[in-house]
Structure 1
């Protein structure tokens, strides 16, 4: 679930950057873009740590 959320947030970031580059009208500003990327990073780290914990518990 965390990894899917991280991928979805990163996709929002990529779409925003692409729209800003192609049409000069991104739907997020600089701060919004930073917050989306930060949230995607946090969710990715949580997903990695949970997967690592699950692999340690299965051993």
Structure 2
């Protein structure tokens, strides 16, 4: 779930970058872009830590 949310937020960030590169207009400002990228990063880290905890629990660690 967290990994999917991370992919979706990164897709929003990437779409904003592509929009700025090709059309010269963006739908998110600089601060908003930073916050979207931060959210994608945090969600990705949470997903990885959760997956690692599940793996350790499965292996009896």
Q: TM-score, normalised by structure 1?
A: 0.99
**Within 1, Cα distance between the matches of 2:54 and 2:34?**
30
Which residues in structure 2 correspond to 1:1-59 (within 5 Å)?
1-59=1-59
- CA radius of gyration, larger in: 2
Count of matched residue positions in the alignment of Structure 1 and Structure 2: 59
Give unpaired runs (5+ residues) of structure 1: none
Give unpaired runs (5+ residues) of structure 2: none
TM-align CA RMSD: 0.3
Q: If each structure's helix is expressed as a fraction of its own residues, which one has the higher value? A: 1
List structure 1 runs of 4+ shifted beyond 3 angstroms.
Answer: none
